[in-house]
Amino acid sequence: MAKFIDSTFVRDMCNITRQSYDNGWDERNGGNMSIRIKPEELTDYDDIKTVKRTFDLGFDASALAGQYFLVTGTGRYFRNVFQNTEQDLGLVKISADGKKGEIVWGYTDGAMPTSEFPTHLMNHIARLKLDSNQRVVMHCHVTNLIAMSFTQPLNEKYFSKIIWKMQAESMPVLPEGLGIIPYETPGTTIIGEHTAAKVADGFRVVMWPHHGMFAVGDTPDECFGLIETVEKAATIFTAIQAQGGNRLDEITDKQLVEIAKYFHVSPRKGFLD
Ligand code: 2HA
Ligand code: ZN
């Protein structure tokens, strides 16, 4: 029988958290990540069969009953996950009534899932309604996009067009654009509800002003790639501002439409009209 710590799910989580930290996006305990795992993907592991602890989820997650989530622990540092793996990660099964989380692996020193776990679950639910392959939710504190949330109008069309124009290949990666919610207190269920409404509207990346970015995806690579692409655009925008802010030449709206046609993607309705 295999050990869960040797699974690709744990390996992906270790790689992504470390890479995100190395990119400067997860100071201290900043950031959190979860991967949905189906029961049939866990049959080989004998060390996840007993429930060690349970906790209240605080909302109705019955849409995910019986599903498992590998999730970073509250207060834990992305910097350490690759070496403190069994302490800093936990595998949580959603109870049959959808009200409780059942810890079946990890959090060996008594940790609990990230404070944003209800937000993660709400967004897994919202995205699964549009995409049955949805698996990954990730949140991190990307520097340049956070900075832009202070200096630029918090308008989805405006931000999406900046992201598309900063780099010719942003459009095929993120044709639906960037969702934006109002500033909210971290860890509250209201931040989860607002973000899930954006995800239900087709956004895979949502900006949390003055806080960070939130992304969903089918794979760790998709989710991380979305975050990288948006933050890369925000970094180029920041460099342009540092060089005086003039854009003597840039990708036009018409050229964005041409890129979308060439890559067979549909830009969000209303953003290029
Ligand atoms: O996990 O980033 O938003 C710590 C946070 C909360
Ligand atoms: Zn955060």
Do 91 and 128 fall within a single domain? Answer: no
Pocket test residue of 21, 116, 189, 195 for ligand 1, highest count of atoms within 8 A of CB = 116
The pLDDT value recorded for residue 1 is 80
Residues 6+ apart with CB under 8 A from 48: 4, 42, 68, 91, 104, 105
Do 55 and 13 fall within a single domain? Answer: yes
Dihedral pair phi/psi, residue 172, rounded to 5°: -65, -25
Q: Distance between the two ends of the chain, CA-based, in angstroms?
A: 57
Segments in 139-180 forming alpha helices (H): 143-151, 156-166, 170-173
Which residues span the domain enclosing 138?
116-273
Mean pLDDT of 13-34: 98
Do 82 and 122 fall within a single domain? Answer: no
The pLDDT value recorded for residue 32 is 98
User: Does ligand 1 lie within 6 Å of residue 34's CB atom?
Assistant: no
Which ligand gives the minimal distance to the CA of 211? 2
User: Does ligand 1 lie within 6 Å of residue 186's CB atom?
Assistant: yes
Do 231 and 212 fall within a single domain? Answer: yes
User: Does ligand 1 lie within 6 Å of residue 114's CB atom?
Assistant: yes
Do 134 and 265 fall within a single domain? Answer: yes
Domain with residue 249: its CATH number is: 3.40.225.10
CA 35 to the chain's CA centroid: 10
Nearest atom, ligand 1, residue 114 CA: 1
Instruction: Kindly indicate the confidence band of residue 18, based on its pLDDT and cuts at 50, 70 and 90.
Output: very high
Do 145 and 106 fall within a single domain? Answer: no
Dihedral pair phi/psi, residue 220, rounded to 5°: -55, -40
Do 30 and 142 fall within a single domain? Answer: no
Cα–Cα nearest to 203, from 145, 146, 263, 123: 123
Our count of domains for the chain comes to: 2
